[in-house]
Structure 1
């Protein structure tokens, strides 16, 4: 069994240990939300900027890919043309040997 004085002391002791918000640094919830929203807006703008940069890089890479494919097609055509020329030259050489 406890005395009323002890109970009063105990309640004060517990309440004294609970940190109280400082009035100097305290913000209203509205102010705090404005700060959070402005930080979110900054993050959103940064995300959109990075996203735009990545989209431009993707377009550049796709264009390079297309150009490389065109270069590859041109190289294949040149190889095919050279092989035909080589085969023709070999046929001509063989026909000269037979005669």
Structure 2
């Protein structure tokens, strides 16, 4: 019976170690996703700033242009505006995706921490039982 308890304790300690590693991996993944989310938000802010500057330059620039030059500039601005809007949508989508992944990882992390806690309690109980024998 002592050998069984010792074997069970060894198994629990090994499982605890693996869960600890899993927790560390999940923490690293969560941090990586947070950094990616922050970068995407910075990119989004930069795009918004560029868009505002572009709108301002459209209003203040271009005196003395021909009709064709104006039409060409308008086409280019529409193209840039569409590109900015698409980048903005892609960034927002990526942010939402990252938020979802972060929530999943945080949930998994909580699960692993709870499981580790239960294993530590079981290990403690089994150690106490072993000492009482």
Question: Taking structure 2 as the reference length, what is the TM-score of the superposition?
Answer: 0.50
Residue 33 of structure 1, aligned match among 70, 73, 80: 70
Q: Number of paired residues? A: 69
* SS of residue paired to 2:74: helix
In structure 2, C-alpha distance between the alignment counterparts of 1:65 and 1:58, rounded to whole Å: 10
User: Which structure ranks higher in relative contact order (CA pairs < 8 Å, sequence separation ≥ 6)?
Assistant: 2
Structure having the larger proportion of residues in helix: 2
Is 1:61 the counterpart of 2:61? The answer is no
In structure 1, C-alpha distance between the alignment counterparts of 2:98 and 2:111, rounded to whole Å: 20
* SS of residue paired to 2:68: helix
Aligned to 2:130: 93
Return 5+ residue gaps in structure 1 as ranges: 1-27
* SS of residue paired to 1:90: helix
Q: Larger Rg: 1 or 2?
A: 1
RMSD, aligned α-carbons: 1.1
Residue 52 of structure 1, aligned match among 89, 92, 102: 89
* SS of residue paired to 2:92: helix
Deviation at 1:89, TM superposition (A): 0.3
Question: Taking structure 1 as the reference length, what is the TM-score of the superposition?
Answer: 0.66
